[in-house]
Structure 1
Amino acid sequence: MGLADVVGVLNGAVEAAAPGHGEPRCWVNAGWSRSVDLEGAPQWTGLDPGACDAEEARGLVTVLVAADSARSTKAQVAGFLLDVWCLGVKNALPPEPMSPSRLDAYRQAYFSAYDKHVQVPAELARALVFGAAAYAHELGFAPQADFEAAAAVLGEPAGACPIRFGRDGKLLYVNGPYDDPEAIVRTLRRTVGDDGFHCTVAFPEQPRRRLFRSRR
């Protein structure tokens, strides 16, 4: 079953309204805009009031989505962890029905690693999620296994993504605790070449060390 099929099935289940009428509610961590380039999307530059107060950009953006149902008081809730500098969708949480009170508590816990989070238009959330997935796909990386089910709650993007990914527009891989850095570096070498990316890898109890540096 492809993404379009999954979207159709889940949208039918929750009876989501047409775009612009009952769009899903979406939240992202404050400081998200520091990890992407919004030069091509100036309409979204003012949607990150905590950007100046946020910690140093890490290339990670956390997204939570809640799609309301016409039949139930419970919303379908899904989430995404994005690596907007390289890997795209690192993690996706498949949809789960939640009451308003449970959603509120879940949302606070979901963003507990950040000082604050902000509500954003669904259009922006789609651009972040689908744009990051497309960026990573070009580099040879597929989204996490539950991506299609989670993406169905978000809905389909309306057009091309205006957001530019990568750190300052350049590909940078920074490993996470559950990554396989050697496999990822092999993929990047194959897709963009040794000189096509920056890579910083941290090992337990060791400082980060730079493996490759792009000469572009």
Structure 2
Amino acid sequence: MQPEQEQEIAKLRALKVAPKQIARKLGLRPAEVSAILQKLSQQTPNSDTDELPPVKECWVNSAAAEHFFGEGNHIEDQTSEDEAFQEGAASSGLAIVVVAREVRFGTFVVCSYLVDYWCLGIKNTLGPKTVNATKYTRFLQHIYEPFEAKPQQISLEQAQAIALGAVDYAQTLGFKPHRDFDQTRKYLGTWDGSLRIEFGKNGKPFYFCGPHDNSRQIMETLRQTVGDGNFDFVTTPF
């Protein structure tokens, strides 16, 4: 691969273009792009991530873990529209990802990400929050309280794939991540994009209206980016 191509890959990734889109744009195989990104991450210091504390653990709600990484039927696909808003945040197409890093023994910095993996990407994010072991346990209990099932522990690579993959997907639809994502993005670390997961529902965007959404604006954006008939939606009055 020519140095000019490596520079172009680095430039596009800095603009948060997904590896798969970079490959398509440059006429390369996705595996080639992933290999170059991994090489560049090892060679080039990243001021946003070099000083990050080591990862302690990552979590996601059980339904999202099953949807992306489990076998058999997806839990959300079995959820009816009427049931979708039961249990508060346990709505269809939503994931809550938590990344915890250990600052020192018994002290952690944590961030959480509310992910709409069917359409909008990062809808909300909290952190970075520095807590001791007791408060960390309470934080996890509180944030996953709306879900009936216990959260599942996942790898950092899986957490990145859900959160950052959803950001990339949403951007193709015309949606930006929550404004506070600038404060929590770096705690996800450097993502090489090698773990690919599918977003949307049944091969296209599915907008499930939330209580704080500007649904009219979101629907108009989808009409402009993908066109009528190329997305599904459920709007619910609140």
CA offset at residue 55 of structure 1?
A: 7.2
* Structure with greater helix share of residues: 2
- Residue 207 of structure 1 corresponds to which residue in structure 2? none
Secondary structure of the corresponding residue to residue 112 of structure 2: strand
**2:175 aligned with 1:150, yes or no?**
no
Structure 1: gaps spanning 5 or more residues = 17-21, 39-43, 205-216
Match of 1:132 among 166, 173, 181: 166
- Residue 193 of structure 1 corresponds to which residue in structure 2? 227
Structure 2: gaps spanning 5 or more residues = 1-14, 17-40, 80-90
Relative contact order, CA 8 A, sep 6+: which one is greater? Answer: 1
What's the TM-score, normalizing by structure 1?
Answer: 0.76
Distance 1:9 1:94 in 2: 15
**2:65 aligned with 1:45, yes or no?**
no
- Residue 95 of structure 1 corresponds to which residue in structure 2? 128
Report the AA paired with residue 29 of structure 1.
Answer: N
Percent identity, please: 31
Give the alignment of 1:1-216 within 5 angstroms: 8-9=47-48, 11-12=50-51, 15-16=52-53, 22-33=54-65, 35=67, 38=68, 44-45=69-70, 56=79, 58-70=92-104, 73-115=106-148, 116-204=150-238
Secondary structure of the corresponding residue to residue 140 of structure 2: helix
CA offset at residue 68 of structure 1?
A: 1.1
8 Å CA contact 2:94–2:115 kept in 1: the answer is yes
Distance 1:176 1:144 in 2: 14
8 Å CA contact 1:65–1:153 kept in 2: the answer is yes
Aligned residue pairs total 184
CA offset at residue 192 of structure 1?
A: 0.5
Secondary structure of the corresponding residue to residue 103 of structure 1: helix
What's the TM-score, normalizing by structure 2?
Answer: 0.69
After superposition, the CA RMSD in angstroms is 2.8
Distance 2:233 2:206 in 1: 6
Report the AA paired with residue 45 of structure 1.
Answer: G
Secondary structure of the corresponding residue to residue 159 of structure 1: coil
Deviates more, 1:75-84 or 1:51-60: 51-60
In structure 2, the CA distance between the partners of 1:200 and 1:126, relative to structure 1 (3 Å rule), is same
Distance 2:221 2:75 in 1: 35
In structure 2, the CA distance between the partners of 1:158 and 1:24, relative to structure 1 (3 Å rule), is farther
